[in-house]
Amino acid sequence: MAEVEVLRAPLVVEYPFTRTTGPVIGAFFTALREGFIVGIRGSDGRVIVPPFEYDPQTSEPLTEIVEVADEGEIVSWAWSGEPLEGQPLDHPFGWALIKLDGADTGFLHVVDGPKEQLRTGVRVKARWAAEREGSINDIEAFEVIA
């Protein structure tokens, strides 16, 4: 039986979700749109960034939104040498958990710069997008500051 050239075609399984945020997550994204970062105070006084709606220990609703700085230190990081479509940058970058000044938890984002600069404890600052819409990508990336 003669063989034919096997067909191939792109197959994309996608869901164009839009999610409502509620007031707490909405406050976080509103702040990003305006160019700053907020977290929320937990039952033990620690500031959680990004904000949780409910306390991780007591499960009570949390209500005190707190502004934090847009710079802080790297707590942990991992290098991403071959970025995938949909990730924040299209050249190699570092994922990092960043403890922003005023926050008590790590905030996940990306650090744009050479791998050699990345180190736990290094200080980084947000590079804001020129046009912001209320998305995590309103921060383009963090950059190492001297």
Contact residues for another protein, defined by CB under 8 A: 1, 3-24, 26-27, 29-34, 36, 38, 53, 61, 63-67, 85-86, 134-135
| Nearest CB to another protein, comparing residues 27 and 97 | 27
| Nearest CB to another protein, comparing residues 29 and 107 | 29
- Shortest spacing between CB 141 and another protein, in angstroms: 19
- CA gap 97, 105 in Å, rounded: 9
| Nearest CB to another protein, comparing residues 58 and 120 | 58
| Nearest CB to another protein, comparing residues 16 and 121 | 16
- Shortest spacing between CB 35 and another protein, in angstroms: 9
| Nearest CB to another protein, comparing residues 85 and 116 | 85
- Shortest spacing between CB 55 and another protein, in angstroms: 12
- CA gap 65, 22 in Å, rounded: 14
CA dist list (Å): 88 to 10, 83, 94, 124, 140: 23, 9, 11, 17, 7
Residue 145 CB partners (closer than 8 Å, separation 6+)? 71, 123, 124, 125
- Shortest spacing between CB 66 and another protein, in angstroms: 7
Q: Which helix (H) or strand (E) holds 16?
A: none
DSSP-based three-state secondary structure for 117: helix
- Shortest spacing between CB 62 and another protein, in angstroms: 9
Q: What are phi and psi of 8, to 5 degrees?
A: -145, 150
